[in-house]
Structure 1
Amino acid sequence: MEEYKVNVGGRIFHFSVDSLTRDSPNLLTEHLLSVSESQDENEIFFDRDPEVFEFIAKHLRGYNIFPLIKENLPVGWNLYNFIQCLTQDACFFKLKGLFTSIRPFYYFIESPTAIDIFSREEKMVFNLQKVDPTKLHIENDDIMHVVQGKHIKAEFFAGNLVWDLISDNNWEFKFINNWDNVMVKRISKEILPQADPNVEYYAGESGGAFFSIDDIEMNGNDVYEHTVERSFPLQQTNRPFSCVRIWLKKLVFSLRIPNDPDKPLIIVPVWGIGLTQIYHKSLKYAKFF
């Protein structure tokens, strides 16, 4: 049986053809199975973390690596950072099947509860239009929900949002569906009695969210970098306030209370899918690419 060696950060992993092609096409098959016979290359080196790749190797050999729990991680890793690195390496090695397994599709079910496949932590995932704001409260600056006396993090999903990326650290969200907008205002008013009922845009926060923008999978922190070039044509018209606008078909998010009580709630995205637009605020101009 043909054997292939993958050197990751100085550690050798041995694979059969069946393992390499289990989640293919991928970067490994591109380098190891696409070379000419005269090259006779059965080994390749990648400067990546071998502890993270160990889980990728298990995935390629057909093992179910989920749910990920802290007790099963290499020593010194916390769960959040490991998931982030595993996601980055799933993209680096072009392992679409692994990336799909990581993405929390279960957030979009109608059930009010969901189990986090990464940590087994139960959390409430609400359809925003079915929220009862009076049953929500704040703990540690996040919206929480009480179930049988236990505080559980509440996350929400909604559709049809406008997401303006004014810069790499200045984001704004707007709900297109009027009832979604009403529900966010009710939540805001319940938690911040002085909240301005006329607020239309809600500040956004970057972080470890997963997005599929224009059918390209990316981490939340990378969205602006990957889409900013789309606003260049407007910037060159010498008109101010051009930015990248994304129409989000779906978004899972949590809500955070800002330090300044005069500001609206902050949307902390978790996962979403959407399409890029360019947008010129001064002209109220939007165009799909």
Structure 2
Amino acid sequence: MEEYKVNVGGRIFQFSIDNLTRDSPNLLTEHLLSVSESQDEIFFDRDPDVFEFIAKHLRGYNIFPLIKENLPVGWNLCNFIQCLTQDACFFNLKGLFFSIRPFYYFGASPAAIDIFSREEKIVFNFQKVNPTTLHIENDDVMLIVQDKHIKAEFFTGNIVWDLISDNNWEFKFLNNLDNVILKKISKEFRPQADQNVEYYIGESDGAFFSIDDIEMNGNEVYDHTVERSFPLQQTNRPFFCVRIWLKKLVFSLRIPNDPNKPLIIVPIWGIGFTQIYHKSLKYVKFF
């Protein structure tokens, strides 16, 4: 039986052709099995600890749900899930990517799914958050202080996402209760906050999306959608941008310690559609 070697970060993994084609087509089959690039060994500068779980997936093992006790030494569950998702996209393993999502995003009960381990953080429906008790002692929302900001993760839906450029993102929450919660959180952490704000600044930080049924990471969204979207010019927003309606979004709310800085929405995962708005949000035309 012919074997193929994959060198990941200096560690050698051996696969049969059945292993390589289990979740194909993928980057491994593209390089190892194509006629033009046929070779017995290939190197990827990725993390071998993460790839070890990918290798188990290709060999037919069920690796879910992931639990902290089964991870390589030194990894926390949150970072490992993010890296595994990134590498599923890097190696174009669509089966693995879609297997990750049901366990860690959008279940009937986020607390029951335990999206990340409870001692680290739990993702909750944004509309169930009490803005006035958003602190680390709260049983429902665990916060993590990281350097210059506080971070809390939630999921919600029905969001307008404007991509002004490939690295300039803005979000507007269409659910009125979401808007109320955001304004209360903003007011709670910075009493001088402008309560008339509609759009919140966004940043890309390892985000992954399904936009128009195309899987992509956050850095690819603008390039993939800008040519498919008509230029949008809004009242009091004198610039063109790509507009996307997000049906679902898992996001991290960053609250800077500096009271003069705004809240920041950092998306993690979402489903959306490119669309055009004409004059108002009431009339929507989808591609």
TM-score range normalised by the length of the shorter chain: 0.7 to 0.9
Corresponding residue of 1:49: 46
Q: Deviations over 1:176-212 (max 9, x none)?
A: 1222212222222233222222211111122022221
Q: Distance in 1 between matches of 2:261 and 2:79?
A: 30
TM-score normalised by L of structure 2: 0.74
Checking the alignment, whether the CA contact within 8 Å between 1:166 and 1:243 is kept in structure 2 is: yes
Corresponding residue of 1:140: none
Checking the alignment, whether the CA contact within 8 Å between 2:160 and 2:174 is kept in structure 1 is: yes
Structure 1 residue 97: deviation in Å? 1.8
Structure 1 residue 68: deviation in Å? 6.5
Q: Distance in 2 between matches of 1:130 and 1:120?
A: 17
Match of 1:274 among 260, 264, 272: 272
Q: Distance in 2 between matches of 1:127 and 1:12?
A: 42
Match of 2:92 among 69, 91, 94: 94
TM-score normalised by L of structure 1: 0.74
Moved more, 25-34 or 54-63: 25-34
Corresponding residue of 2:13: 13
Checking the alignment, whether the CA contact within 8 Å between 2:31 and 2:39 is kept in structure 1 is: no
Structure 1 residue 274: deviation in Å? 0.5
SS in 2 for 1:123: coil
Match of 1:214 among 212, 215, 218: 212
For residues 225 and 259 of structure 1, do their structure 2 counterparts lie closer, same or farther at Cα, with a shift above 3 Å needed? farther
Q: Distance in 2 between matches of 1:176 and 1:44?
A: 50
Count matched residues: 270
* Higher radius of gyration, 1 or 2: 1
Written as runs of structure 1 = structure 2, the 5 A alignment for 1:133-282 is 133-137=131-135, 144=136, 146-147=138-139, 152=143, 154-231=152-229, 234=231, 241-258=239-256, 261-262=259-260, 264-277=262-275
Q: Deviations over 1:196-243 (max 9, x none)?
A: 222111111220222211222222233233333335x639xxx95111
SS in 2 for 1:24: coil
Identity of aligned residues (%): 72
RMSD across aligned C-alpha pairs, in angstroms?
3.8
Checking the alignment, whether the CA contact within 8 Å between 1:241 and 1:281 is kept in structure 2 is: no
SS in 2 for 1:54: helix
Match of 1:60 among 40, 58, 61: 58
Checking the alignment, whether the CA contact within 8 Å between 2:208 and 2:217 is kept in structure 1 is: yes
Q: Distance in 1 between matches of 2:161 and 2:3?
A: 45
Q: Distance in 2 between matches of 1:130 and 1:80?
A: 22
Return 5+ residue gaps in structure 2 as ranges.
145-151
Return 5+ residue gaps in structure 1 as ranges.
138-143
